[in-house]
Amino acid sequence: MSKRVVITGMGAVTPLGLSVQESWESLLAGKSGAGTITQFDPSGFAVRIACELPGFKVEEFIDKRDARKMDPCTHYGMAASQMAWKDAGFEDGEYDADRAGVLIGSGVGGIQTFEAQHTVLMEKGPRRISPFFIPMMIADMPSGAVSIELGLKGPNFATVSACASGAHAIGVAFHTVRRGDADVMVAGGAEAAICPIAVGGFANMKAISSRNDDPERASRPFDAERDGFVLGEGAGIVVLEELEHAKARSAHIVAEIVGFGATSDAFHITAPAPGGEGAARAMKEALRDAGLAPGDIGYINAHGTSTPLNDSYETAAVKSVFGDHAYELATSSTKSMTGHLLGAAGGIELIFTALTLESSVIPPTINYDTPDPECDLDYVPNQARETEVTAALSNSFGFGGHNAVLAARRFEG
């Protein structure tokens, strides 16, 4: 018999704040995390804006000597995981470490380390490459480091599916607990890709916004004048726990995860399938897995990247799945404020979805000024909305045609 899976802990470092609460408050206030890049000199780049973390201090989470052996991607994943584990409130003896695991996704892993060590190779030769280069760079290291830090010895690996990585990680972790292979899973995504080679690469493929003179208004999902996403960084981590396990220790339950859908477009390396066909199948699969009807859903946290094709095709996908109900449910993009956290997006956006269910407040899509005839749904424009939501979806779609959709429900004891 399938077990029920609930969220009992959450942690986040985002461009809107260095905690879940700070990020959530900024989100509901409609605050943008975008600004001119400060981590390197962006002059000469076609795009000079990003959503950076505000004042992150790694030494508050990791010993400085250890931190030097980790990429910032791992720093962020470790910080958010520590917060999530503390939020879950485990006491000694309340869990079996052999049945508690970690599953953290990342789209590009340690790209800052890769860039820095390639410079060392070119300027100083191969003997000067750091012996920590490989473990700093590989995308599984946030998951591995968190497992070591927390002493969790259950399932431990990473998902890599571009911008769907965090959602895939949570979905696989959800199924792991539901089928009884673990009692507790720490899951989500981490990313730290604001560096010259990544910004230059995304800019040259015309994926990111070039509104350099107005960064706070650059991310504008579903708006007719959108011209690309704004690159973000950070991590979003949840603690998933089997319901009876959580109840036995009187844990606070934020929301229940009830379904996961994963599909492939099998179409193009970057462009989504026409009409959002693959995304629609993922949403249908999440609903089927959850035992929910389309009319049960009151909110969708959209992938909503602010790119021309994604937003119009995601809109088409929602309409194909929900029919007339598509116009009655709220569909907002929190990327309008956080920017696009790539592999970490699914983690932080599930947290926002869970908080929507718990608080009955839907975050807005900011910078929505000029309606697009192809994007004609209720995007909760520019202001948060108080309304009861009992079930919701969180959409994540990645380069390569990867689609991951999570279904969550307000917890009813």
What beta strand segments (E) does 91-232 contain? 100-105, 156-157, 184-191
Element of type H or E holding 299: strand 299-301
340 is catalytic: yes
Q: Which of 163, 175, 195, 402 is catalytic?
A: 163
Q: Which of 75, 168, 175, 303 is catalytic?
A: 303
- Please give the structure tokens belonging to residue 203: 């800019």
N- to C-terminal Cα distance for the chain?
19
Of 302, 269, 270, nearest to 283 by C-alpha is: 302
- φ, ψ (nearest 5 deg) of residue 301: -85, 100
Q: Which of 75, 168, 245, 340 is catalytic?
A: 340
User: How many other C-beta atoms are found inside a 10 Å radius of the C-beta of residue 353?
Assistant: 27
Render the burial of 153-186: b for 16+ CB within 10 Å, e for the rest. ebbbebbbbbbbbbbbbbbbbbbbbbeeebbbbb
Three-class secondary structure of residue 341 per DSSP: coil
163 is catalytic: yes
Q: Using alpha carbons only, what angle is made at residue 7 by residues 259 and 67, rounded to the nearest 5 degrees?
A: 115
73 is catalytic: no
Q: Which positions are catalytic?
A: 163, 303, 340
